[in-house]
Structure 1
């Protein structure tokens, strides 16, 4: 859908994050194509105010109430409406748009994303937690509202581009590729000595801290496996993971006749974002063009679930169903935060997640309130685990304290 001026009306939830900034870069390069009706961010008042002024956004929401005075001051005299708090973010999600980028990271993005879905519009989904934590609920809501879900993660976007949904019987499996992260070749013993700076040093992608650490543990690929299950209605045993260090082949779909279709490109998030922004058409982007002769070699290897136990935990959570994926996601978020705060060591992230999964019973997912309640319970259990193991955790975390 487009306005009378021929522009698509869009809203960007999470405009100050990594995906949000890339989205805004594309939007600002194409003012004749897009009209920004709403932006929502966390606490970066200066950045979201600049984004709003450059795109003449209609409404700006900032989740952190303490940042609102700075936002109001920055927008004074512009005529741009603003508000603060969780309800303001939901208001941004409700604003009349044709297309919404859902890029608020973590469980905080659940309610805004679901609110946008209920408006029956096109949703560019970068908040994987919506599907990980409430996949069945999310898909049912999207179907009831007539919303269209376009995956933005590079892997799922790649599958979407080569997935012949009208010929599903011909699809044998889907294959998610993984870079392997910065610790791909390291032993568990070597990983135990790595600190925050090491975990954030992704070899290919420029990403935010949370997803960079998830890449280092390979939990990001476990979460993407659960996401792919819901997006493409594919059982867990027909979703493979393949380590591909060059991050050129973004994912593949294998067909029953032996054909394997893949989407390739340079590792730049603006490519899948642009695909979602212009869908069902395509639009030019400033991304580096793929030069296969310069790349010269593409390599692949099977992932190691022993060195990277997060992959096993994600498969077990998906098979268990119900609230298990909610616990997986929440425990991982809390454990990553504890690692960033140097309260646990790197290899303890997966250990904490496994312990919390074992401690909390699996129950059906009734509604978003139930999801959020389980999310809180899992985070509390992470803190209990850290408290019980504080002496050991402090010794392990101190290894990377100087980085």
Structure 2
């Protein structure tokens, strides 16, 4: 019993000795305590290739920071712009130099924190700030369609103010184009050509969804001398899922809303030589009245197929002039035979009903016609006729060959009755 307190004293003294050993060295008159010593002068130990005074850094050149003197080294560098975007970089193994590995943002303000230590391990920190020069050439993005409510088949578009040709530059642009929807869906961009991209989900948009497109490209280097500019975001609403399926062999159109059949309409489609295109099309617009002439699609005046007719309740599905419209002159053939010049014709009453019950972005599909399949991009929105695996290959962020669009149809507004 008498020895227990003595044992505790010895153990306490052993811990105290360890602490004192450090304290004795640090608290002697010849050397200061390392925890109370001031960090060494980091400003005198680093070099910086940023701008001096009122000059602005060239965003096309890398940022470099070096350690000066044999007894100092860089341990970390953090560079961020005013939006909080980090500038990637690499530090050499010996800590003597840091260099940015990603392009600087044009027209941005940067803050750089440099952490260093001397040969004895004493830390140092220096904070630097600089601005980058504005872009010499700006790439702007304009999203489409206009704000509003659309059908489930409506693709998004992004039109660029300058051509982007290389895959590396396209990847920079595509990473900055963000699309989100509620509810969320899987989707992808497709490069139609050097200046136009389309975005669609793997399947159609969900009914009653909200879709947002925005760009974070501002200031980002796309290629030498070309940086992204500011762009207006887009937000659209998606309505009910409305789809009209025309069977050219049975001469009937079935119209569904959210999977439920709401109407079955006798129709006529294109006769031999003018067969209606197969495949999925998207409603492009509605025109109460259109004057349709055979000469607009190359039919000579006075020939057997010549026509010049007033047409009502015309719902456009291609730029070259394919419509769903009223055709009172062919009511006797509707439901029995194909006698049109490519359009889908129906009675005036049915055409008025169709006109009132569809909106831009709704789906109009034709099956069992002798016509070619609707092309993807040069005559409206045939995007849904591209299989998903092939669509993904149209992205700059995926591998594989891309299928660009053909030249714009010179007669994109010509009607085909």
TM-score, normalised relative to structure 2? 0.22
Structure with max Cα Rg? 2
Structure with bigger strand share is 2
Structure with bigger helix share is 1
TM-score, normalised relative to structure 1? 0.23
